[in-house]
Amino acid sequence: MKNAQEAKPQPTIFIERISQFRGTDLTDLCDATESTLSDDALSFSIGLGRIDSHVRDHLESYWKGTLLVPERQLIIGRLDGVIASSIQLVKPSPNNQTGLFAGIVDNHFVAPWARGYGLAKELLKAVETEAVAAGLSILKLSVRNNLKTAIKFYEASGYKRWGTLDKYEKMDGKFIAGYFYYKDI
């Protein structure tokens, strides 16, 4: 008889930068995004409010459009082959001569069902590696002040808070503050 305390096998994690969707990639990414948007405690925002009947159309358009923007790099995390997380590196526009040193970390999330396996950390490492390869020396990011786990994670990862905006986002008719961070890479 097996011990009930035996550890379950660890899932396979794979991080990759993608430039096109293959197979079920778009569906998987939309599913992961929807489940994250539905998680009130730890959700993020890609400019959508709560889940509505047209969210899938918006998400598909958003993710397809992300791949069309030359300054955006989409990095996804797979858990046992299924896209469960993502992060984006937004590089400065080539005509932004005074800001060519800084990139932005955007839309970093891990679906609720895939948390606890290190995807967030691996995605952040991957985006930092991509930023260095692109010749950037600073990364910036912002996060809602109610996402305590994300705040703790970014601060533990070396990001320094430099500012607060009281009216960062508006959800359900109420303003939510946001924090701004940077990291020398």
The token pair that represents 6 in the structure block: 């035996």
pLDDT at 171: 79
- What would the mean pLDDT of 122-139 be, rounded to a whole number? 97
pLDDT at 53: 56
Report the candidate in 68, 84, 63 with the shortest Cα–Cα distance to residue 16: 84
Residue 5 lies in a domain: no
Instruction: List the domain range (segments joined by +) for residue 32.
Output: 13-184
Check: CB of residue 96 under 8 Å from CB of residue 103: no
Check: CB of residue 144 under 8 Å from CB of residue 169: yes
pLDDT tens column, 24-70: 999 999 999 988 888 755 556 565 555 555 678 889 999 999 999 99
Instruction: Give one DSSP letter per residue of 24-83, joined into a string.
Output: THHHHHHHHHHHHHH-TTT---SS--S--TTHHHHHHHHHHHHTT-TTEEEEEEEETTEE
- Going by pLDDT thresholds of 50, 70 and 90, the confidence category of residue 9 is confident
Question: What domain count does the chain have?
Answer: 1
Residue 138 lies in a domain: yes
- Please name the residue that has the structure tokens 């950390």: 121
pLDDT at 42: 56
Check: CB of residue 28 under 8 Å from CB of residue 61: no
3 has a pLDDT exceeding 70? no
Residue 121 lies in a domain: yes
> Rounded CA gap, 66 and 26, in Å?
12
Report the candidate in 105, 97, 116, 82 with the shortest Cα–Cα distance to residue 157: 105
Residue 29 lies in a domain: yes
Residue 25 lies in a domain: yes
Check: CB of residue 76 under 8 Å from CB of residue 83: yes
Residue 36 lies in a domain: yes
Q: What's the whole-number average pLDDT of the chain?
A: 90
Residue 131 lies in a domain: yes
pLDDT at 13: 96
pLDDT at 40: 58
CATH of the domain at 140: 3.40.630.30
- Which pTM does this prediction carry? 0.89
Residue 6 lies in a domain: no
